[in-house]
Structure 1
């Protein structure tokens, strides 16, 4: 749905199912329900999570046509895809496999191009569209700087192939699409400096001469194409975990000429570490419930001097809790955005408010907003609702903030 010039939806990765049939069935159930609960008028935007398996089915003309007919029937549109998880995202151990296959592989490149071609068919005229993706790879898969450099070179050329495809789509259809790279803790790219490094050290040095020669354009024009078709997915949770201030981050991106294709509205879990041994013991017992086996829950700790320390997963951090001198933990756990506190814990909800104020002051930052929450089980029993009600409650909170 469109609010003050922003396209707002929720990410359908909350719904289990890798097949297109399961994906489509969930959309049929929940999009009308959420829309009705919100009393949303006008066309309703969809943030579509499309797995590799689903994309192989939806690219078939008859399946794509069926989906387009349904979208018109219910007055809905797709403006963004979530292409970070390639495969199964539910009901199994995901952990670091969420990055696999990564950008060093043809599988990731081909899946992304196929999905963007589908998006070009779904996107309404006059609207730009984006697809979020993995931050290149999982950093702990590279044992040395040399291994990382080899991986980065391969990934860079795969990303440039995506740029070439998106240039062709724009020339053929007039539709402007962008791939939105999503930094996250322990990704090869996990903060704004590393996102800028991707462009300054890899995409631009490699891409400008390559695209200039292939497309018969100047290197300045090639640079503009790269920055148009490769953008940033700013996940509020992820940037809050690494303690970045939104205004500073947006300013850095602007100074580097990088664009934000999409903001994913999400909140991280935030806890303050007690000084006493009893307090730490009690905190550890409560946090055990969040140390589940499906997803990685990276922790970034802040010390008294402001320095940061990272843990690859919550159980690793919990082992250090009894003797730690750290003052605060921010945990990669996408808690619901409408609550600031969860019992004795809090969240980075305040950062969402700051981000929304930033884009209201400067709408040029981005027009695409997608709520991404998939951890309803952290809510106290007396605040839990059905899935449709929960999704609508998240979107309603964001709508109120935008107003």
Structure 2
């Protein structure tokens, strides 16, 4: 299954979601000449709550999706509210896993997903944030978050239908900054039958970790990759040159955080956003930038993207893992064209380069 994530579409309510799907998802399915198109669905918290409270509404929504030839096996429950405000930045990490609203939202997403799963789905997945942004975070917060995940696990375990699994998504700058951080925090704290890793391959690339060794480290810890977010980071080999600086600066924009890492010989250096990286980092070694760039489109020279990390990671995970193309940055991408055309082109690329390791 290779899905595309609908968090790229701003929609405050169920009617708006269906309108966006008519405008984009249905044309994408038709452009791909596919009978069905898998979605990685994103639901704002009020929509998820409303569907949870009304099973007939869930069934009606499932029927609307089916009528459009759309299927859903995974939900992206990282963004809680408006993901397309003028400035999102750190807001995307709230509420954190210390806030009861995060637990309730995730339960709601699992409830909705259970009624949307196609008959062919072996399980459903819900991806979530890596606890919180790293500051402030205390040992007490650790305990609170662990308790919340234990409560969610009890909720998932007691469901009589097909399993729904939580996928925790490491992200640069967060409490669980890298996959190694997530593995260290989750192993021994969670039930691996219900909680595992969401491997965002843009985040993975930004950390400069080896993708194959990373997947093996997850297995050795007794955890699983529940979901892969198929994404690519922006890379500049020589950020200190005038050409390199000018090229990467074109991707500096005010809506989202674009964490930067520099692969220095003494260790990976960090900046929390692209504008500050120009002053905070020496720019003497390659940079990778947390800016999800379209999988099929090579950035203008001297920039490149990290699709090689994506391909290696997907080849290393177990067959049947959910794969979700998550390029949410189309609306802030320099020179972006038609969105439906872009999504269709990404999915063609994904099927060509990734499908061998992905279940149908």
With the shorter chain as reference, the TM-score category is over 0.9
Out of 45, 60, 63, the residue aligned to residue 52 of structure 1 is 45
The answer to whether structure 1 residue 327 and structure 2 residue 285 are counterparts is yes
Partner of 2:94: 100
Out of 227, 238, 248, the residue aligned to residue 203 of structure 2 is 238
The answer to whether structure 1 residue 162 and structure 2 residue 122 are counterparts is no
Q: For the residues of structure 1 that align with 2:269 and 2:205, how far apart are their CA atoms?
A: 14
Partner of 1:177: 164
Deviation at 1:310, TM superposition (A): 0.8
Q: For the residues of structure 1 that align with 2:135 and 2:39, how far apart are their CA atoms?
A: 34
Q: For the residues of structure 1 that align with 2:63 and 2:310, how far apart are their CA atoms?
A: 35
Give yes or no for contact 2:251–2:333 (8 Å, CA) kept in 1.
Answer: no
What's the TM-score once normalised by structure 2's chain length?
0.92
Partner of 1:318: 278
Task: Mark the runs of 5 or more structure 1 residues left unpaired by the alignment.
Answer: 1-6, 143-147, 205-225
Give yes or no for contact 1:17–1:23 (8 Å, CA) kept in 2.
Answer: yes
Out of 3, 23, 40, the residue aligned to residue 9 of structure 1 is 3
Q: Do the aligned partners of residues 230 and 47 (structure 1) sit closer, same or farther apart at CA in structure 2, a change above 3 Å counting?
A: same
The CA RMSD measured in Å over matched residues stands at 1.9
Could you list the per-position Cα deviations for residues 104-136 of structure 1 after superposition, in whole angstroms to 9, with x for gaps in the alignment? 010100111011111111113452000100100
Deviation at 1:68, TM superposition (A): 1.6
Give yes or no for contact 1:302–1:327 (8 Å, CA) kept in 2.
Answer: yes
Q: For the residues of structure 2 that align with 1:38 and 1:23, how far apart are their CA atoms?
A: 21
Give yes or no for contact 1:20–1:53 (8 Å, CA) kept in 2.
Answer: no
The answer to whether structure 1 residue 397 and structure 2 residue 349 are counterparts is yes
Q: Which has the larger radius of gyration?
A: 1
Higher helix share: 1
User: What does 1:4-403 align with in structure 2 at a 5 Å threshold?
Assistant: 7-41=1-35, 43-59=36-52, 60-125=54-119, 127-142=122-137, 148-169=138-159, 172-173=160-161, 175-200=162-187, 203-204=189-190, 226-273=191-238, 279=241, 281-303=242-264, 305-320=265-280, 324=282, 326-359=284-317, 362-363=318-319, 366-376=320-330, 381=335, 384-401=336-353, 402=355
Question: Which has the higher mean CA deviation after the structures are superposed, 124-133 or 241-250?
Answer: 124-133
Give yes or no for contact 2:51–2:112 (8 Å, CA) kept in 1.
Answer: yes
Q: For the residues of structure 2 that align with 1:329 and 1:257, how far apart are their CA atoms?
A: 32
Q: Do the aligned partners of residues 325 and 94 (structure 1) sit closer, same or farther apart at CA in structure 2, a change above 3 Å counting?
A: closer
Give yes or no for contact 2:239–2:245 (8 Å, CA) kept in 1.
Answer: no
Q: For the residues of structure 2 that align with 1:309 and 1:300, how far apart are their CA atoms?
A: 6
Aligned residues: 353
What's the TM-score once normalised by structure 1's chain length?
0.83
Q: Do the aligned partners of residues 132 and 274 (structure 1) sit closer, same or farther apart at CA in structure 2, a change above 3 Å counting?
A: closer
Q: For the residues of structure 2 that align with 1:256 and 1:291, how far apart are their CA atoms?
A: 37
Give yes or no for contact 1:240–1:351 (8 Å, CA) kept in 2.
Answer: yes
Partner SS state of residue 396, structure 1: helix
